[in-house]
Amino acid sequence: MRPIKIGNRKGSEKSKIGLGRWRLVVAVVFLLSFSLVYKLYAIQISESEIYKARAADQHEVSLKLIPERGKIYFTERSTEGEKLYAAASVRDLATIYSVPKDITNPLEMAEKFYEFFDREILEQELKNKNLSDLIVATSTKEVIINNYLLRFDKPGDPYEPLNKTFEINRLLDLYVYLVNSDYFENGEIRRGSLRDLVSKDISKEDLEFRNEKIYLTIKELDESSGEEKEIKKSLDIPGLGFTFSKYRYYPENEVASQILGYVGYSNGESNGHYGLEEFFDKELFGQYGNLKSEKGASANLIIVNDREYTAPQGGSDLVLTIDRNIEFFACEKLKETVARFEATGGSVIVVEPKTGAILAMCSEPNFNPNDYQNVKDLSYFNNPTILYQYEPGSVFKVITMAAAINEGKVNPATLYEDKGEIMISGWNKPIRNSDFSTKGAHGLVDMNYVLDNSLNTGAIFAMRQTGDDVFAKYVQDFGFGERSGLELGAESPGNINNLLKNRIKEIDAATASFGQGIAVTPLQMVMSYQAIANKGVLMKPYVVKKIINNGVEEIINPKKVREVISPETAATVSAMLVNIVEKGHSKRAKIEGYYLGGKTGTAQIATVGGYKKDEWLHTFIGVAPIDDPAFVMLVKIDSPKGVQYAEGSTVPLWRDIAEFILRYYQIPKTRK
């Protein structure tokens, strides 16, 4: 009998394999389930904050809200009290942009831009100048005509708009137009050119966007009346759009530009540069605000009520001591004088002697802060009245005389023998009076005569009566060799190092007594006369009289620096200044009905190893009226042509401005 087979070995083996596979699947499923549970645990519990942050990044948007920059105001006197006029404000300006893929007719776009913006300007340029003289070839297809980039294409060439962009302030991001002109290259005439250049300010009032069209306010000649009138005209160009942003705007253009500085824009940020804009940048800017919101599926913002919102805080406003009328008149007169004498530059500073408030301050050349990016010479941004040092010349003799009188060493009647020249120990040639070649020795003269005739030897005599060290101390006390702290930044301390040594050389003290061998700024020079006009008290100069933050006013009060000379000495020196105007080199400063005082200075221009020949710096500083001074004013002209002495250049300029201020302040005449 055969044994009974309980199972098939091969089948059993297959069952074992199937069971193993099933167990593997169960294990994999278990591991995956465990991983999923662990991941859910990690996402929802242990790492929940991380994933919340990632989700917020995808759905929440945090917007930085830019505050409105504070304004800067000029002041103006009136019968109704003090008025304020914006020197720097904020304006909504448009950035016009193009979408190249949507521009269906580039040539039409270029022609319309040309018609809207610069047809008259460019036609006049091409009419008045020889075109060939203006052309600089940069490639076979591009030339520069009068600093305009023009592109020439061969007939039949596919037109490609230039996509070059310029980082600019308040101007169009893309500005192209067609210029009809002929250009010869290899005997072939190219017609039609494209200019890609940023150009115009477009204000919110002049630009509108209606029915997907851009409208500009332009001036057009009314043929019936012959007068210009403003009309709204549509560019009607597919592919153009615009956005509004707030930008810094300077209504008076160049006026007080070196006091104000400018605001520059880069990568969406704005920063003040130079002048008040830089010095008070933080206060003027204000504080950013913040808005948190959520994005919907279409990327639109969804404002959520319980989200964080912090309003931006606008910047503080600055109210200046600068009088708008005086500033404008003084700067215009300075500009005229610099042009008349073909001078390299010039400056005017007007100070209120009792307080140190700056009423006017300007220099030539200057710049337009609305167009700062096109300034060719970066030195125009600097304020020469506080930054540039120069040897002052004879205006410094008044300081020397004040020191000697205050020490009781001389008085206006003190006599000395003038021989026209003097030898100084350690120096190999005599120091002479400026008029030595024509007048020689003046003989026995007093201190009034010294200032009236601006004698170098007389200044040395007065300095020697006080002694080198005492004289040097007075020079420091008058504010020379140190920064005044005026709120404009970038101020030079001057250079009186020759007088700060333990042992002062005789030649250094001698030349310093008549304004050579030391360097001062125009501001230091005018403030030294301010101290004399203010009964001997030196004040700190300032240009900001009030800071307004959210309606709260911070008044900047005048600040006394020190008493330099006694009131009696100040009165004596003031009388000597009147004598100079009455009898000396400053007679052209006289104004009918007033007693005025002042002193000229014709200084050599220092250079390496000596002084320039036939170039001079002319200065005049005057006080008006002398009995109750309302202002002290310095005028300075650099390297004027056709006039050798200051009485021919700066004195008439000073008189014109002073006469205006006296009338403007309605100061009664006291002289018959």
Judge contact between 93 and 248, C-beta under 8 A.
no
What's the one-letter identity of residue 386? I
Report DSSP letters for 513-545, one per residue.
Answer: HTT-S-BB-HHHHHHHHHHHHTTTEEE--BSEE
Q: Is the peptide bond between 625 and the residue preceding it cis, with omega within 30 degrees of 0? A: yes
Place of tokens 């893309």: 174
Residue 15 annotated in active site = no
Q: What is the DSSP letter of 46?
A: I
What's the one-letter identity of residue 253? N
* Token pair belonging to 150: 């023009």
Place of tokens 């009032």: 205
List alpha helices for 86-237, DSSP H: 106-117, 119-128, 131-134
> In 492-519, which positions are buried (b, 16+ CB within 10 angstroms) versus exposed (e)?
ebbbbebbeeeebbeebbbbbbbbbbbb
Chain centre to alpha carbon of residue 630: 28
* Token pair belonging to 174: 């893309």
Q: Is the peptide bond between 558 and the residue preceding it cis, with omega within 30 degrees of 0? A: no
d(CA 567, CA 492): 29
Exactly one of 270, 316, 394, 513 is catalytic; name it. Answer: 394
What are the beta bridge partners of residue 446? 415
C-alpha distances out from residue 432 to 402, 462, 510, Å: 22, 16, 12
Residues recorded for the chain: 672
Q: Count Cα neighbours of 607 within 13 Å in the Cβ-side half-sphere.
A: 8
Judge contact between 544 and 318, C-beta under 8 A.
yes
> In 328-347, which positions are buried (b, 16+ CB within 10 angstroms) versus exposed (e)?
bbbbebbbebbebbebbbbb
CA angle, 337 then 342 then 345, to 5°: 70
d(CA 379, CA 386): 13
Judge contact between 91 and 168, C-beta under 8 A.
no
d(CA 486, CA 563): 19
Judge contact between 397 and 454, C-beta under 8 A.
yes
Tell me the catalytic residues.
Answer: 394
